[in-house]
Amino acid sequence: MALDSEKKQVFKVVGTRPARPDGIDKVTGRAMYGADATAPGMLVGRILRSPHAHAIIRSIDTSAAEALKGVKAVVTSADFGAPEDESIRDVQDNCMARGKALYHGHAVAAVAANSAVVASQALKLIKVDYQILPHVTDVDEAMRPGAPVVQADRAFENVAAGFSENVTSQCEFGHGDLEAGFAKADKVIERSFTTAATHQGYIEPHACLASMTPDGKGDLWCCTQGQFHVRTVCAEIMGMDASQLRVTASEIGGGFGGKTTVFIEPVALALSRKSGRPVKIVMTRDEVFKATGPTVSSSMDVKIGMTKDGRITAAQARLRYQAGAFPSETVTYGAQSAFAAYDLKAVETIGWNVLTNRPKEAAYRAPGAPMAIYAVESVVDELCQELSLDPLDVRLKNAADKGTKSSYGPTFEAIGLRATLEAAKAHPHYTAPLGVNQGRGLSCGFWFNFGGNTCVSLNINTDGTVGITEGNPDIGGSRASISQMAAEELGIPYEKVRTIIADTNSLGYNDVTDGSRVTFSVGLATIEAARNAIKVMCGRVAKIWGIDEDAVIWEDGCAKPSGPNAGSFDPMSIEEIAAISANTGGPIAGHFEVNADGAGVSFGVHLADVEVDPETGATKVVRYTVFQDAGKAVHPDYVEGQMQGGAVQGIGWALNEEYIYGKNGLLQNPGFLDYRIPVASDLPDIETVILEIPNPGHPYGVRGVGETPIVPPLAALSNAVSRAIGRRMFELPMSPPKLLKAMSQKR
Amino acid sequence: MVKVLIWGSLRSATEGQTEVEVDASNFKELLDQLATLYPGLKPQIERGVSLALDGKIYREAWFAEIGPDSEVVLMPYMTGG
Amino acid sequence: MKNLHISTTVNGDQTEFVCAPDETLLDVLRNRLGLTGAKEGCGTGDCGACSVTLNGRLVCACLVLGAEADGAEIGTVEGLATGDHLHPLQSNFIEHAALQCGVCTPGILVAAKALLEKNPNPTDTEIRYWLAGNLCRCTGYDKIIKAVQIAAAEMRNA
């Protein structure tokens, strides 16, 4: 059966809003997160971090720490090997600096001790001899020849000449004749923009509990978006066979991309191996800010030409992303997505990745897209203002649609952009009156969405209920939506299904929970696993009835004869079939393994109204509406939750959040007091409108929804603020001091 | 023969062409052919590429079938958050 | 420094523990009493994930010393439900999708309960300001505010 051979249009369970299976555990404090596990004889692990932005580690003397009573192990980079795979070596070097500390907060040594107090004392006894090097934390400075080199010899073959060694990769996308396009324009605007690095800001710091035994076996409990990826990376770093390292994902207290890699797990495993005891490491918030996360910061130029009637004739972008101290490909995603919302005859985007003395960038919700699209949508808005055009009409006029050759190459299949724009135009928000000091902004958003490696095992219990085993940590309610899709396919109530997330020994490899892939891919695999189980059940019933397997169909949780020619038999329910499974051939199960493709891109449009206080420069979001194509919303509450949560992360990015580095290269604001994420009193209700343009690549039409919502808020807010204060903003975040300065320049 | 659209920064490996022709009926054959005909593409192919086939993105599927009239676009391998 | 012997009441139960003089109430609850519902999101009183009540007052357990619990009454998320009967805030948070990852949820529930005890009929704005010390990164707060309102109405009519 082809994956998309059977399309469903009418649903009984999908589209409803049942209670999540993890709900009671989470409201009673029973849910077990990364830091909540303990083990007999457990030690406390702590990590020593570089106080410098860039320094050669000449030597590390751990003898005094090792001699301290209660200290059971100390590790440094000398305790790790040199993995062959470059990306895994980078992860290891990020977990424990080798030779050079590359950023403020880079791990240089770790201890395991019988108490937190002793572990902290031991860290102070470790003597590191640093030779301080010049540092660079700004992307534009880091690109210039002569800039301090963060890592030498890391540039790909395709980087043009004339840059410093920090420029590690270059990418270029687009098509058409730019020069001719710009010549046709009545107005051409070219602007430069910057965005600050922001952190994913999950409330749960990274935590893990590692237990290695002398026979080479290991168990690891950790908060992660992907236990299988953790196993791959840690097994390679530790020189272990994958079979001997069992990784169990805890409940995850937020990830947003930031928990798709490892920071402390190999360190805990090494400490456990050395000490012979289980070791727990829990990061402090200070460590989370200094050494995990953030997304890239950017410096960008965008040039767009438009005719008087609002047709874009040519578009060009230059993107410079710094992704911290290690090479990254995030800029390629930005370069591909920058103009995705537009049907363009001539478009070109060039991007560069740049090394700086900052933490290794980690994925953050639609990685690379928000900043590029912010710059593009800002220039489009300015053109609309200059040419006195309605910004929604201009987007509709230029909107990509089915059959459009996208700015990154392929021709779009069915997409929901136009429907989303039309919904925004028809919504009362778009024409509601604005007050004094208020402005309205809008922006399109886009993300590719991915499928990926997925395994699902679906067991029909002997009482006819269903157990599902899948391998992707639930970060947004996926256990509920997967149970819904199984219930839908099997024709049984949602309450009869329970979905659990397996450890790495219980299923084949599953890709990380990322790329908005889980409801799409795990859902698809669940539907196929259910179809396989149905096939087994129909086969059993055919034998009982003595008719052909093809003459038995499945409907509403029952096997039935396919028609009068098949004979007259009373339907057999799933309960009846399950009860006699021992007599008919044994336990009944369905399973499905796939590397899913066809995820289907997702578009959204956000409308934002803001009010800027002329005295303080503070921006208040007074109304906000999110429009997004979900393909098919399996659990609409959780789709809305993604739309609202992503929008608010984007609002924080636009207005307040930023990594601030001093001239000394040290992070100035590693805490929630000074790195200010939005709080409840900052925000209005976030209204949502879900569009459903079915994804042709999924049996129920599902598209991923998790990432797209973080993309539009940056430009929607910037456009709203620019219109409110009568001055165009080119920099994020638009914190009060910057807005005050901009407003004073106007006067 | 199928026409393969490559992205701009790979042009230096294909004598400046953004569209190249190869004899391939699936993704694996296409990658092998590209690496043979244009050795300069090899480092990027090893780093990872995806394939958009008539608008649908395949990240790794070697045996995704390519018809003679298929629209074939090479893309970098991507991940999400 | 010698450990201290503390007698206290947690969720209505007489409880004794020993702790170091500089040990936080959060560490005591989590590491000595097995009450891991309160979470450490920051350790500096900025995120509210460790919100508990101390003699009826809403506090961040990471900013209170374990020793301060002596003779006091502590309320945590583990004490919200009565037997198998969920508190209206708990049931409405599930029913109205006011949680995603759930790590901020214990603190928000404890804080919201403290609000409704003071003010059984709050406006949206009052809820938003009361909960401004409880960070949530998943939901955008929208469904949290609505769930608190629905729970408040249910409690007023009970």
**Domains A23-28+451-595 and A42-133+204-253+259-291 belong to one CATH topology:** no
Give the angle A513-A516-A518 at the CA atoms, nearest 5°. 55
The distance of C130 to chain A (nearest Cα, Å) reads: 8
Which burial class, exposed, middle or buried, applies to B68 when counting CB atoms under 10 A from its CB (0-12, 13-18, 19+)?
exposed
pLDDT (average), residues A154-163: 92
Choose, out of B5, B7, B11, B45, the residue to mutate when testing the contact with A (most A CBs < 10 Å).
Answer: B7
pLDDT at residue A8 is higher than 90: no
If asked whether residues C122 and C72 sit together in one domain, one would say no
If asked whether residues C25 and C73 sit together in one domain, one would say yes
Boundary (domain end) residue, out of C36, C54, C79: C79
Encoded tokens for A651: 């609002």
> For residue A704, is it left (φ>0), alpha (ψ between -120 and 50) or beta?
beta
Q: For residue A451, which of B70, B79, B66, B76 has the smallest C-alpha distance?
A: B79
Q: For residue C92, which of C80, C83, C103 has the smallest C-alpha distance?
A: C80
Kindly report the CATH number assigned to the domain that includes residue C93.
1.10.150.120
Preceding omega of A737 cis (within 30 degrees of 0) = no
> What pLDDT score does A5 carry?
53
Yes or no, beta carbons of C103 and A253 under 8 Å apart: yes
Yes or no, beta carbons of A477 and C97 under 8 Å apart: yes
Boundary (domain end) residue, out of C58, C79, C100: C79
Cβ atoms of A736 and A395 within 8 Å: the answer is no
> How does residue C1 score in pLDDT terms, banded at 50, 70 and 90?
confident
pLDDT single digits (tens) C5-21: 999 999 999 999 999 99
pLDDT (average), residues C27-41: 98
If asked whether residues C32 and C99 sit together in one domain, one would say no
> What pLDDT score does B42 carry?
92
> What pLDDT score does A107 carry?
98
Yes or no, beta carbons of A364 and B43 under 8 Å apart: no
pLDDT (average), residues C53-71: 98
pLDDT at residue A747 is higher than 60: no
Domain A297-407+420-449+600-746 architecture: 2-Layer Sandwich (3.30)
Q: Which of A177-186, B27-36, B39-48 has the lowest mean pLDDT?
A: B39-48
Q: For residue A268, which of A590, A64, A574, A43 has the smallest C-alpha distance?
A: A43
pLDDT at residue A1 is higher than 60: no
CA distance B55 to A406: 9
pLDDT single digits (tens) A688-726: 999 999 999 999 999 999 999 999 999 999 999 999 999
pLDDT (average), residues A30-39: 98
CA distance A42 to A559: 53
Q: What pTM was estimated for this model as a whole?
A: 0.97
- The domains of chain A are located at 23-28+451-595, 42-133+204-253+259-291, 297-407+420-449+600-746
Yes or no, beta carbons of A672 and C40 under 8 Å apart: no
pLDDT single digits (tens) A295-335: 999 999 999 999 999 999 999 999 999 999 999 999 999 99
pLDDT single digits (tens) A591-650: 999 999 989 899 999 999 999 999 999 999 999 999 999 999 999 999 999 999 999 999
- The domains of chain B are located at 2-76
If asked whether residues C95 and C51 sit together in one domain, one would say no
pLDDT (average), residues A728-747: 92
pLDDT single digits (tens) C95-143: 999 999 999 999 999 999 999 999 999 999 999 999 999 999 999 999 9
Helix (H) or strand (E) holding A459: strand A452-460
Interface predicted TM-score (ipTM) of this complex, two decimals? 0.98
- Provide φ and ψ at A221, rounded to 5°: -110, 125
* H helix count then E strand count, chain B: 2, 5
Encoded tokens for A611: 């009010």
pLDDT (average), residues A367-379: 98
Place of tokens 């499928």: A451
Which A residues in the span 408-437 are in contact with B, Cβ-Cβ below 8 Å? 408-413
> What pLDDT score does A746 carry?
60
Yes or no, beta carbons of A644 and C139 under 8 Å apart: yes
From B42, which residue of chain A is nearest by alpha-carbon distance? Answer: A157
pLDDT (average), residues A17-42: 98
pLDDT single digits (tens) A420-471: 999 999 999 999 999 999 999 999 999 999 999 999 999 999 999 999 999 9
CA distance A511 to A454: 7
Q: The domain A42-133+204-253+259-291 belongs to what CATH superfamily?
A: Aldehyde oxidase/xanthine dehydrogenase, a/b hammerhead (3.90.1170.50)
Q: For residue A90, which of A414, A362, A278 has the smallest C-alpha distance?
A: A362
CATH class of B2-76: alpha beta
Boundary (domain end) residue, out of C32, C54, C79: C79
If asked whether residues C37 and C94 sit together in one domain, one would say no
The distance of B63 to chain A (nearest Cα, Å) reads: 12
Q: Do chains B and A touch (3 or more CB pairs under 8 A)?
A: yes
Q: For residue A366, which of A521, A256, A510, A224 has the smallest C-alpha distance?
A: A256
If asked whether residues C18 and C67 sit together in one domain, one would say yes
> What pLDDT score does A3 carry?
41
Yes or no, beta carbons of B79 and A367 under 8 Å apart: yes
> How does residue A564 score in pLDDT terms, banded at 50, 70 and 90?
confident
Kindly report the CATH number assigned to the domain that includes residue C61.
3.10.20.30
pLDDT at residue A278 is higher than 50: yes
Tell me whether A644 touches chain B (CB under 8 Å).
no
What DSSP letter does each residue of C78-91 carry, written as one string? GGSSBTTB--HHHH
CA distance A651 to A645: 10
Annotation: CATH topology of A23-28+451-595:
Aldehyde Oxidoreductase; domain 4 (3.30.365)
> What pLDDT score does A379 carry?
98
SS3 category, A670: coil
Most confident of A438-442, B58-62, B64-68: A438-442
Choose, out of A328, A597, A601, A602, the residue to mutate when testing the contact with B (most B CBs < 10 Å).
Answer: A597
If asked whether residues C100 and C57 sit together in one domain, one would say no
pLDDT (average), residues A375-387: 98
List of chains touching B (3+ CB pairs within 8 A): A
pLDDT (average), residues C44-53: 98
CA distance A64 to A58: 18
Q: Residue C70's domain spans which residues?
A: 4-79
